[in-house]
Each structure stands twice: as C-alpha cells, then as structure tokens.
Amino acid sequence: MRQRRVDAGPTAFDAFHPMVSLCYVTAALVFCMAAMQPVYLLISFAGAFAYGIVLRGPRTAVRSLAWQLPLVVVVALANPLFSASGSTELFRIGSRAFYLESFAFGSCMGLMLATVFTLFSNASRVLSSDKIMALFGGFAPTIGLMLSMTMRLVPQFVRRGSDIDAVQRACTAARPACAEKGGTRRGYLRSASVLMGWSMEDSLETAAAMKAKGWGAGSRRTTYRRFRFRRLDALALAWGGALVLVSVAAAVAACGQFRFYPIIEGVAPWWSYLPYAAFVALPLAMSAKERARWRP
C-alpha cells in the first residue's frame, strides 16, 4: 500500500526573500561541518530535528531517526578501527586497543553526517525549486538547476526507499527469501539495487524531458514567481548575520580549547553556546510566531 505523504504547509521563511533562506541554510551547513565540537553538534542536530518536526510533521521526522541513528552508531564503531588513539582504554581485541576518545570522535562524525542530512531535508522544504531558480535563474541557470535537484535528492531517496521497503513487505513471494539465513542482507541489496535503478531511470527521463523542452536554448530564463528584496529582508539578514558573527567568535574560542586526544577536555562555559543556540532557534521562533498570529 502506498504511503501517504503529508506536507507541513507554508514555512516561516515564505514571508522573506529567498536570499534570507539561502543565507540561513548555508550558514547552518557551514557551521555544522566546521564546528567539530560535541556541544555544537548536539545543538545543530537538536535544532535541525526540531525544525524538521515543524516542516514535515512529528511522525516523518521521528521515522528518519530509523536510519540516522544507525549511521551514527556505524561511524562511531568504525572510527576506532582506523584511529587507535586516546588514553582511556575500554577493551582489547588481540593486540589492538580500543579507546573512549576514538569512539567519541566517531560519534561526533556520525552526528555531523546525520545533521547535514537533516539540514538538507529541511532546506528542500524551505528552498523550493521556484525560489532557487529565482535566485540563480537569471545569471547562473545551470547552478540553480543543480542546487534544486541536489537538495531534493536526500528526501527523495528516503521516500523512495520507504516505498520499496513497503512493497517488499507487502509482496508475499518475497517473504520466504527474507526468512532464510542471509535473507535480510539480500533484501537490503535488492532494495539498494532497485533504488539505484529507479534513480538512474528517472535521471534519463529528466534529461530527455529537459532536452525536449529546449533547456539552454535561451540566454536568460524566466521564473515562476517574482520576489522583491524589502527592508524587512535586509533587517533579517542583518540580525542573522550579527548572530552568526557572534557565534563564530564563540565557536573559535570553544573549539580551540577543546581536545579529543589524548583525553577529552576543554568544554567551554555554557553561556558561550547561547548565540549559536539562538541562531538555530530562529526558524522555530518564527514558526511559533506565525502559528500564534493565525490561531483563532
């Protein structure tokens, strides 16, 4: 049975120029990947996941943890195999020692990947195709098309993977194979093969449709919607930029004194994380304000 997709409706960023959304998403992604510190990563993931609940609904957001948490675990367990560093030895397998610091660093790397995926899923809802084409369609239409297609890949892969898994569970002919020894592994390989084939077929159809519609025939592309940059947008960029600058200054100091190796130490005071927490909470505050305004 095909799963019903529920959209969360308009977003809080719809009241602003697309440049505001693009700057916020870019700053959040750069900060998440640059600030390799556990507290900052936890704040980034909590903010992205909370806003994902607002955008896609709690059920869809919680279901995304089914593949995000295993990703964190896999990276955390794989890192000690390549980096046997640290001072707190947990156990040994033969002559190889496994340290707490290596597991902590791997956990942070996995959490960073999960946060990036969540931010991309949120960005696909905040920055729709018409907004991206309005930003880049005039002077860089190819870049705008690449960005719009790239940002929808992660949520599209997740939806298609869920559809494939649902079809396999509903197919009675596939159940005996899944019940055998190693059937689960074969099921995962079959799902990945179907997903890759589906994506490549879709890319070929998209390329053929673009060629038939004359993509690239003109030097300048039109857009579906026209957006005007207003004083409110400038104020939003100024306020967000000020928070980013303060957050960067605090993050440089916090990450500079933090160490994973040889021992985990150097956690900054709690108040140094407040500017970045305020920046992450901006979409949540705007969404709460919009809902309070339209509440009967």
Give the per-residue pLDDT at 268: 86
Mean pLDDT of the chain: 80
Give the per-residue pLDDT at 7: 45
Give the per-residue pLDDT at 9: 59
Q: Are 66 and 132 in contact (CB under 8 A)?
A: no
Q: Which of 29-33, 77-81, 150-154, 255-259 has the lowest mean pLDDT?
A: 150-154
Find the farthest-apart pair of alpha carbons in the chain and give their distance in angstroms, rounded.
67
Mean pLDDT of 240-259: 91
Give the per-residue pLDDT at 295: 67
pTM of the model: 0.71
Question: pLDDT, tens digit, for every residue of 115-173?
Answer: 998 998 888 888 877 777 777 666 566 666 666 666 667 677 777 777 877 777 777 66
Cα–Cα dist 94/77, whole Å: 17
Q: Are 31 and 240 in contact (CB under 8 A)?
A: no
- Inter-CA distances, 260 with 42, 77, 114, 205, 289, Å: 16, 16, 20, 48, 40
Cα–Cα dist 132/149, whole Å: 10
Q: Are 88 and 99 in contact (CB under 8 A)?
A: yes
Question: pLDDT, tens digit, for every residue of 262-274?
Answer: 888 888 888 989 9
Cα–Cα dist 6/129, whole Å: 19
Give the per-residue pLDDT at 8: 44
Q: Which two tokens stand for residue 77?
A: 């367990």
